[in-house]
Structure 1
Amino acid sequence: MNTPRKLFLHAPGIHVGGGLTLLQALYSAADSCVDFEQLDTRAAHLIPPSSAERHLIRPSLFSRLAAEFRLQQRVAKGDVVLCFNGLVPLFRCQGEITVFLQNRLLISTARLHNYSLRARLRLTVERFLIKNLAHRVNKFIVQSPSMAEQTRAHLGPNANIVICPYIANSRRSAVVTDRERRFDFVYVASADPHKNHQALLRGWSQLAEQGIRPSLALTLSLDSPLAAQLSDLKERWGLNVSNLGPLTPTEVGSLYAQARALIYPSFTESLGLPLIEASRAGLPIIAAELDYVRDIVDPVETFDPHSPTSIARAVKRHLGIVSSPQAIFGPEVFLREVLQ
Structure 2
Amino acid sequence: MILLDAIYINNSGGKILLDYLIQELEKSEKKVFYLLDNRVEGKISYLNGSKNEVLLIQASLLNRYKFYLKNKNRFKSVLCFGNLPPNIRLNAVVYTYFHQQLYIHLPKDASLMLKVSFFLKRQFFKYFFSNTDYWFLQTDYIKTNFAKKFNADPEKVIVFPFYPKLIENSNVKRIKHSYVYVSNAPPHKNHLRLINAFCSFYDKYHIGRLTLTIDYEFTDLLEIIKEKMSLNYPIYNIGFVKRDKLSKIYRQSEYLIYPSTAESFGLGIIEAIENGCKVIGADLPYTYAVCKPSLTFDPLNEQSIFEALSLSLSENISPSYAEVSNKIEELISILK
Name the Cα RMSD after superposition.
Answer: 2.2
SS at match of 1:320: coil
* Counterparts of 2:176 and 2:39, CA distance in 1: 33
1:79 is aligned to 76
Sort the Cα spacing of 1:255 and 1:32 in 2 relative to 1 into closer, same or farther, 3 A: farther
Q: Percent identity?
A: 25
2:292 is aligned to 298
Sort the Cα spacing of 1:126 and 1:111 in 2 relative to 1 into closer, same or farther, 3 A: farther
1:175 is aligned to 171
Match of 1:107 among 96, 104, 119: 104
Sort the Cα spacing of 1:107 and 1:33 in 2 relative to 1 into closer, same or farther, 3 A: farther
* Counterparts of 1:296 and 1:141, CA distance in 2: 16
Any conservation in 2 of the 1:72–1:91 contact (CA below 8 Å)? yes
* TM-score, scaled to structure 2: 0.85
SS at match of 1:46: coil
**Pairwise CA distance, 1:186:** 0.6
Any conservation in 2 of the 1:213–1:239 contact (CA below 8 Å)? no
Match of 2:159 among 145, 163, 169: 163
Is 1:215 aligned with 2:209?
Answer: yes
* Counterparts of 2:74 and 2:92, CA distance in 1: 5
Sort the Cα spacing of 1:304 and 1:167 in 2 relative to 1 into closer, same or farther, 3 A: same
* Counterparts of 2:124 and 2:81, CA distance in 1: 15
Any conservation in 2 of the 1:38–1:67 contact (CA below 8 Å)? no
Any conservation in 2 of the 1:263–1:286 contact (CA below 8 Å)? yes
1:327 is aligned to none
1:269 is aligned to 263
* Counterparts of 1:289 and 1:113, CA distance in 2: 18
**Pairwise CA distance, 1:88:** 1.7
* Equivalent AA in structure 2 for residue 127 of structure 1: R
Match of 1:242 among 201, 218, 236: 236
Sort the Cα spacing of 1:193 and 1:34 in 2 relative to 1 into closer, same or farther, 3 A: farther
Any conservation in 2 of the 1:183–1:217 contact (CA below 8 Å)? no
Match of 2:145 among 124, 147, 150: 150
Sort the Cα spacing of 1:57 and 1:175 in 2 relative to 1 into closer, same or farther, 3 A: same
* Counterparts of 1:17 and 1:273, CA distance in 2: 10
Q: How does 1:55-74 map to 2 (within 5 A)?
A: 55-59=55-59, 61=60, 64-74=61-71
Match of 1:140 among 135, 138, 141: 135
Higher relative contact order (CA 8 A, sep 6+): 2
2:330 is aligned to none
* Counterparts of 1:177 and 1:86, CA distance in 2: 40
Any conservation in 2 of the 1:289–1:303 contact (CA below 8 Å)? yes
Structure 1: state its 5+ residue gaps: 1-5, 322-340
Q: Rg larger in 1 or in 2? A: 1
Match of 1:199 among 188, 193, 199: 193
Match of 1:186 among 180, 183, 192: 180
1:126 is aligned to 121
* Equivalent AA in structure 1 for residue 169 of structure 2: S
2:311 is aligned to 317
1:52 is aligned to 52
Structure 2: state its 5+ residue gaps: 316-336
